[in-house]
Structure 1
Amino acid sequence: MSTDTAPQKEEYLPEKHPEVELAEKLDEAENSPIEAVRMAVPVTDDPLLPVITFRFWVLGFLFTAIGATITQYNFFRTTYSSYSIFFVNLATYYLGKGMARILPKFKVTLFGQEMSLNPGPFNIKEHAAIGIAVNSGASAAYAVDILAATDLFLDYRVSAIGGILMIITTQCLGYGMAGLLRKYIVYPAEMVWWQNLVQVSFYGTLHNTDEYKRIRLVRGWTRMKFFWVVCGITFLYQFIPQWMFPLLMYVDWLCWIQPFNRNFWALFSSAQGGGIMSLSFDWTSIQGQSMYYPLYAQLCTYGGMIFNYWILLPIFWFNNILGTRVIGRPLSPRLFFPNGTMFNYKDFSTPDHNLDVERYDALGVKVAMAPMYALGFFCSFLALTACCSHISFFHGRKIVTTMRAAMSNKEEDIHTKMMKIYPEVPQWWYAVFYVVMAGLSIFVVEYYNLQLPWWGLLLALFMGFVLTLPIGIMNAVTGYGPGLSVISELICGYMLPGRPIANMVFKCYGEMAMYQCNLLLQDLKLGHYMKIPPRNLVAAQLWGSLVGAIFNWVTQIVIIDSQREILAGKKTDKNGFWTGNRAQNFWGSGLIYGALGPARMFSTEGKYGWVYYGFLVGLIIPAIQWALSKKFPKIKWHLFNVTLIANGMAKFPNGFTLGILPSLIVAVIFQGYIARYKKDWWSRYTFILATAMDTGAAFTGLFLFLFFAGGVSEKLVVGFPSWWGNHYTEEGTNAPYLFVNRCGASSGWTNPKGWTVFNPAPETGN
């Protein structure tokens, strides 16, 4: 694909370039009708700034590779530390400036393009293109859920070519869709994409003013010095809870009152129970987003989690609702027989991994799931319809007005007019790209025996394509929109029962086609605001996606090979750092919706038919709120967001309820107090502090894996000596405790005080 670069600055003539004159005339004539856009996005442009440069290729590759590795590594961890785009933008700014000073100016040929190693000053468009490339690829690819689940629980590993192709196709299908829909979701002024305004302001602050450079923080430090000092301190500190003193990661202080009491274990253990009032001093269980996400959103989300795990879980446990005590593990994505024995899917599957229906039906009993897991499905259904209902009632009129304005296209947005000076990407390019990606997707599912027929894949893609337009408009206008994973697995479960892999693949392609398309549309709008030439913008997105896919695949292979028994649930990590809980959760859904099928699991005659009422409840509650807002307009009813509350309840932690209370404490301090009463301090320090701490914590985890946990070599396994802060025995367990959090007893240990000892069976089922 063409990646045309603009002429260099040295080529300016004394008279103004005609394209610059056009931009200035447009600037004088009009501005955006949206006030927030007018404040954040300038209507000026320099069409001569180079975008796809040697610096772009190098920095885009480096930070995408680092980001894809870190986020994929975190996918298998108990706690998750994000890879901040703020850190990327800050670091690439200074590295880009440095490269502009030291690189020679001779020309090289890269990817068929001749370019100068140093085309001049590091500019704002080049910088934004790097950020867009990183944002496109520095994530944990959804397709890895499938690859990890089949590898860990079915002993079926897709080859390197198949795995990388699956990641690339799921990540890139959205490009064709985004291109075909950009006329409706990118070009109109009403399609704001609010998330982009922060980045536009940040790029502008860095490149267009000296204010950012003049600001001094504590002790007169620059922002960059402050960032690296805090990052370094966090990096060193994280060795304490993650290696030397893991008890600090799970401070289940209420559990210590009676550590071998089964009820205390179920309610207060954050390792396998409700984690009521538990603390954590591991930053990865708190995360920087607690410092700057809107307080109402965090209160809704954490309120949902507290209601689920601190209130409903004790009710379920003490009343043995749906066999909670018989199953024994309150929070588990696994399936069980009614007597609490673990269900092993391999015992009831055919050689091609389908369900052996005759053997399963011969049992005469129905497999059960942990009741809190079933409640999570109810909340997922509720969140989906509540999102649509909430947006319809509270934002419906605005969305309809916006859609009419966008479809009529009577008056073009000023930014759309300014972008007309650049060569557009033809619609047929996007169409051809989409067809090629769809064809590769069919090849992957057919050639690698992923149980999903070609027509099933096309149905998933069709569903994603049709729903992308309304969901994209919701995202552009309101800032959030529903996902498709629940609906995808439900449809495929009824359509292709007995095929767990097919269900996971259908969900992945249906969900990711829509999700990735929305992410790419958001980046297209960012490029629109930054005046990045469309062909350069697509090149940046593709570069990030391709680099990220390769590093996603390599990282998951390395981690699975080094931690297989722990990730598959056959062995417990004595520190509690490795769980593979996201892969286990994905596989659990694959069994419920795919292997057994919703017709079996959620039948009206069974235990779980009630989960479908989540759809109805989600539709009704926002309608009631809207009616109350008319009756009592002084109350901000829309802030009691049912979607966020239900999402919090649906955040099934797979046995690790970490970080609820400490994250809530940090949110209240920073958003409830500092942001209100110390606004200057908050605006000066919060984002850079959060980013520095997240970055330092992420690098600690990666360092420990590579050099202390055998990531580079099995010979590089360095455990911290046993002491009461980790309490290892010679066998490598935490005996006499079940886990490092000092809650519960290990199998075979005799309790000298006569307390009730709970010895749950190891989770070896699939």
Structure 2
Amino acid sequence: MAEISESPAGEKGAFEAKDAQSVSGLTKRVVKVESASPSPSEGLERSSSEQPSEDVVYVNGHPVIRNGDDVSNFLISPRDDGDPSLTFRSIFLGSVFTALSSVITMLYIFKPFQIQVSAVFIQLLVFIFGEAWYLLTPSPDRFKWKWVKAILRFLNFGQKFGIKEHVVAALIASSGNNGLSGVEIYAVERLFYNKAVAASTAVLATFSIGLCGFVLAGILRPLIVYPAEMVYWSTLPQVVLYQNLHFDTRQNRDRLIKFAWAVGIAAVWEFFPAYIMPWLGGISLFCLASMNAPSNTRTIMSKIFGGASSNEGLGLLNFSLDWQYIQSVYLSLPFKQQVNTWIGYGIYYVAVLALYFGNAFNAKNFPFMSSSLFQSNGTRFMTTSIMTPAGTIDNNKLAATGLPHITAASVWGYFTQNLAIGGLISHVLIFYRKDMIKAWKQARTRTQPDIHYQGMLKYKEVPMWWYYALFALAFFAGLIVNIKGDTTLPVWGYIVALLLGSFIAPFSCILYGLYGSGIGTNQISKMVAGAVHPGRPLANLYFASWSHQCILLAVNLANWLKIGQYTKVPHRVMFATQVYATLLGAGLNYAVMTTIVTNQRDILLDPLGNSIWSGSFIQSLNAQAITWALAKDMYSRDGPYLIVPLGIVIGLLLPVMHWAAIKVFPRLEKWPLNTALIAQYAGYVVFGTTSWIWSSIAVGVFSQFWLRRRVPRIYNKYNYLIGAALDGGAQIVIFILSFAVYGASGTAHPFPTWWGNPDGNPDHCK
């Protein structure tokens, strides 16, 4: 019979900050059982030399996953079979699926229906083809000639498809879009500025934009990869799926069968909300109840409760059953992260409604939610009306036309993004400073206690000079582009962009590693670019790309380095394949972009587009660049939106206030609050669909609040695996529907109109 006793919390590891504490006092309860360690058949192996910390929580003999140490010790196996990773098969499959993911991603930038190829979808495709390669090719041992055996072994014929090959191939395929930002700029130049970017400029700029961020991740990996607390929670479904597909498949047969069933059920179900009955994508009892109400009442109800259509409303208590919007991320993000998002959503509902109905920023002159620019009378603002042929702002035309305006919801979104950026910097410095220093010292002495880090010590590290050499090449490539190319971005502006990205990247990586989600930092890049390069929208695009890509790619590389640490892929293989994939994908993206823009130029410039092609995404990029090129007029002391840049200053103070409150009320230290995340989610969805918000909350409560704490056996065994299955099943069907009925192949075939697929908003709000 289990003995329940009170035990003091053990010493926290690096980065296990105060806000990582669990709720309800569970961190202090230890259930002592005769055999607390789960069996290897459940995929929860632990190193024999690694003892669980004193504050581990057990329920019926199964550990509750609460922090990075628990993930390392109980969820992710430290097993390393020493199988090869860099093989002909892994490179070939990775390259083929890089082409697939890159081409589809670029194709959908110019489509009215934009989708992203999910990492789990690519992971499953690579596994199917890797297993087929193993099962359908002859073994080299069947041949007597040595040269034939050597060739077939090189081609991996008849050889088992291992986990490391799988990771490398999926890594290559998923990293093919790292240079996408640069290619998008070239599309804007071709469409709106009639500039055909020279091939040399495109190659050098893409190389520079795509690889600068890698250097930051490499330098910072002792802080953002090695420690156990740097989990990168949103990728746990991938890691668990890798290990279940390759480790002890006989013992894991039960889980794999359930995985297959979940994929099938998710795929069949997705046809209904995505095509046959879109009402399932936004179920609102309030919208249904108001169907016969007066028009004015229905309009107000739609703004508050509607959310199934883009820019319809806030989606309060509107539930979606469409998994393509929910996704497994809410099954994997830690409870501490989701609590902060829920608080943020609560603020979001109050603030956006108050701004609109209070007519702040003349809100009622414009749509309730929209990302477009407007004139003061509410008509759409045409950016071409204030541009010179050279692509800069014509001040005379601007004076005649007037400044563009944005919706109150967009103002709130921009403001909260800046709040979050300021809060990100302060929160990391205040709450994680000591742990950062400790993690760095542990890395230098190779004493980081995480079992997965220790398991990687046998592999040669990437020398720092590799990263420095890569940065030098990327830096000089960008320097040449801005000196010789027609970017309108001066060299000093290019250097400022890199410095800004390099400053923000460490903070963003730390938060992402700890919480599984980061802070949107693209806006600060555009804001600074507008301040230092007024009237130059093209310079704004290039500045933001170099600056923000430093941050984004540092996070991406750190994320994959962590997957490599969990799956024991050698460091140098991870480095080389990331660089290879980025360059390969950028070349493919550029070729596809050039072809589409050249052949479909007229329709892409049309604000409406058609059912096959649309330039709305590229138009939006250009509109944002123009808006921030007017930063001194729109966001200065005399501008209408001064509150937006002030958000950074206010955001810097939020964690300080949080820290001061803890000093006054020590009990607050047990609450997993993060003011940067709260601010981020207080303005997270100020346009687009919102019906998924309450579904994500329900999934998070079920998974992280109830299942993880009350039934850890089921949580540890199935939570991440089934989440990956649901993602895969939904993504497969969305991919099929996109080409079969959504119009990606040329002709759309909409489902007939009926009550579950109405002409108007799917949730029956006005």
TM-score grouping bracket, smaller chain normalisation? 0.7 to 0.9
Partner residue in 1 for 2:439: 402
Alpha-carbon distance between aligned partners in 2 of 1:264 and 1:694, rounded to the nearest angstrom: 32
Superimposed CA distance per residue, residues 636-675 of structure 1 (whole angstroms, 9 cap, x where no aligned partner): 5652322222111232443433422233233333434444
1:472 deviates by 4.5
1:465 maps to: 502
Can you list the C-alpha shifts for 1:620-646, whole angstroms capped at 9, x where unaligned? 332232333344444456523222221
Match of 1:213 among 245, 252, 261: 252
Please, which of 270, 275, 286 is the counterpart of residue 243 of structure 1? 275
Q: Does 1:591 align with 2:626?
A: yes
Q: Provide closer, same or farther for how the CA distance between residues 666 and 187 of structure 1 changes in structure 2, counting only shifts above 3 A.
A: closer
CA distance, structure 2, for counterparts of residue 263 and residue 565 of structure 1: 38
Unaligned stretches of 5+ residues in structure 2 = 1-46, 54-67, 141-145
Give the distance between the partners of 2:681 and 2:615, measured in 1 at CA: 20
Which 10-residue stretch deviates more, 441-450 or 459-468? 441-450
Partner SS for 2:432: helix
Tell me, what secondary structure is at the counterpart of 1:298?
Answer: helix
Residues 178 and 586 of structure 2 are in contact (CA less than 8 Å); yes or no, is this contact kept in structure 1? no
Any idea what SS the aligned residue of 1:720 has?
A: coil
Return the letter of the residue paired with 2:275: W
1:539 corresponds to 2:579? no
**CA-to-partner distance for each residue in 1:444-493, whole Å, 9 max, x for gaps?**
55666332233322332233335545655565677666554233222211
Query: Which whole-Å CA distance do the structure 1 matches of 2:580 and 2:109 have between them?
Result: 22
Q: In the alignment, what sits opposite 1:18?
A: none
Contact residue 212 and residue 471 of structure 2 kept, 8 A = yes
**1:639 — aligned with what?**
672
Deviation at 1:719, TM superposition (A): 3.4
Backbone CA RMSD of aligned residues: 4.4
Cα deviation digits, residues 386-442 of structure 1 (max 9, x gap): 122222333232223334444677999997787676565554444343333334434
Are residues 1:130 and 2:169 paired? yes
Q: 1:510 corresponds to which residue?
A: 547
Question: Judging changes above 3 Å, is the alpha-carbon distance between structure 1 residues 647 and 559 closer, same or farther for their aligned structure 2 residues?
Answer: farther
Alignment of 1:562-641 (within 5 A): 570-571=607-608, 586-594=621-629, 596-597=630-631, 599-635=632-668, 638-641=671-674
Matched with 2:86 is: 52
Mean Cα displacement is larger for which, 134-143 or 625-634?
Answer: 134-143
Q: CA deviation at 1:324?
A: 0.6
- Equivalent in 519, 525, 545 of residue 556 of structure 2: 519
Equivalences for 1:244-393 in 2 at 5 Å? 244-251=276-283, 254=287, 256-258=291-293, 260-261=295-296, 262-270=299-307, 271=309, 272-277=311-316, 278-308=318-348, 310-327=349-366, 329-363=367-401, 365-393=402-430
Q: Which sits farther off after the overlay, 653-662 or 50-59?
A: 653-662
2:172 counterpart letter in structure 1:
A
> Which 10-residue stretch deviates more, 477-486 or 263-272?
477-486
Residues 441 and 654 of structure 1: CA distance in aligned 2, closer, same or farther (over 3 Å): farther
Counterpart contact for 1:291–1:666, Cα < 8 Å? yes
Q: How far apart, CA to CA, are the structure 1 residues paired with 2:557 and 2:394?
A: 41
C-alpha distance in structure 1 between counterparts of 2:346 and 2:600, whole Å: 31
- Taking the aligned partners of 2:763 and 2:574, their CA distance within structure 1 comes to 49
- CA contact 1:65–1:138 (8 Å) conserved in 2: no
Distance 1:650 1:579, change over 3 A: farther
Q: Which residue of 2 aligns with 1:754?
A: none
Q: In 1, distance between residues paired with 2:147 and 2:697?
A: 52
- Residues 209-268 of structure 1, C-alpha deviation per residue, up to 9 Å, x if partnerless? 45753435xxxx72453244234314xx42x34334445445565263447435445444
SS of structure 1 residue aligned to 2:538 = helix
Inter-CA distance 250–215: structure 2 relative to 1 (3 Å threshold): closer
Contact in 2 for aligned 1:67/1:139 (Cα 8 Å): no
Q: Over residues 660-718 of structure 1, what are the superposed CA-to-partner deviations in whole Å (9 max), with x where a residue is unaligned?
A: 22332333334344444444344444333332332233233332332334433x3x433
In structure 1, stretches of 5+ residues that fail to align are 1-26, 728-733, 745-766
Letter of the structure 2 residue corresponding to residue 618 of structure 1: G
Cα distance in 2 between the residues matched to 1:247 and 1:415: 45
- Counterparts of 2:305 and 2:596, CA distance in 1: 30
Matching of residues 430-469 of structure 1 within 5 Å = 430-442=467-479, 444=481, 449-469=486-506
- Equivalent of residue 718 in structure 1, options 749, 762, 766: 749
Partner of 2:16: none
Contact 1:354–1:499 under 8 Å retained in 2: yes
Alignment correspondent of 1:487 = 524
1:687 aligns with 2:720: yes
Does the 8 A contact of 1:83 with 1:695 survive in 2? no
- Per-residue displacement from partner, 1:127-168 (whole Å, max 9, x unpaired)? 332343244236793345535555666676757886676555
Letter in 2 for 1:514: I
**Which position in structure 2 is the counterpart of 1:756?**
none
Change in Cα spacing, 1:538 to 1:155, as seen in structure 2 (3 Å) is same
Tell me the residue number matched to 2:12.
none
* Shift, 1:498, TM fit: 0.7
Residue range with higher mean Cα deviation, 617-626 or 371-380 = 617-626
Provide closer, same or farther for how the CA distance between residues 333 and 579 of structure 1 changes in structure 2, counting only shifts above 3 A: farther
Whole-angstrom CA distance in 1 between matches of 2:447 and 2:688? 54
TM-score (normalised: structure 1): 0.76
1:222 alignment partner, one of 244, 257, 260: 257
Determine which of 687, 691, 704 is the counterpart of 1:654: 687
Q: CA deviation at 1:315?
A: 2.1
Deviation at 1:534, TM superposition (A): 3.7
Give, in angstroms, the shift of residue 98 of structure 1: 4.1
| 1:317-341, Cα deviation, whole Å (9 max, x unpaired) | 22222111112x1212222232223
**Does structure 1 conserve the Cα–Cα contact (< 8 Å) formed by 2:342 and 2:697?**
yes
TM-aligned CA distance change 1:411 to 1:228, over 3 Å: closer
- Retained in 1: the 8 A contact 2:173–2:581? yes
Distance 1:250 1:530, change over 3 A: closer
How big is each residue's C-alpha offset from its partner over 1:505-564, in whole Å with a ceiling of 9 and x where there is no partner?
211111112321232234335435544344322232233323433554567678889998
Q: TM-score, normalised by structure 2?
A: 0.76
The one-letter code of the counterpart of 1:717 is A
What percentage of aligned pairs have identical amino acids? 26
Distance 1:570 1:741, change over 3 A: farther
CA distance in 1, matches of 2:331, 2:463: 43
Count the aligned residue pairs: 689
Give 1:378 deviation, angstroms. 1.1
Q: Residue 293 and residue 423 in structure 1: after superposition, are their counterparts in 2 closer, same or farther (change >3 A)?
A: closer
- Distance in structure 1 (CA, Å) of the matches to 2:726 and 2:607: 33
Alignment partner of 1:639: what SS? coil
Q: Give the equivalent residue in structure 2 for 1:11.
A: none
Equivalent residue for 1:233, pick from 268, 281, 289? 268
- The alpha carbon displacement at 1:343 in A equals 1.9
Summarize the Cα distance change of 1:413–1:621 in structure 2 as closer, same or farther, 3 Å threshold: closer
Question: Partner of 1:142: helix, strand, or coil?
Answer: helix
Residues 1:105 and 1:443: Cα distance change in structure 2 (over 3 Å): farther
Q: Is the 8 A contact 2:189 2:195 kept in 1?
A: yes
**Cα deviations across residues 712-734 of structure 1 (Å, max 9, x unaligned)?**
3x3x433334455555xxxxxx5
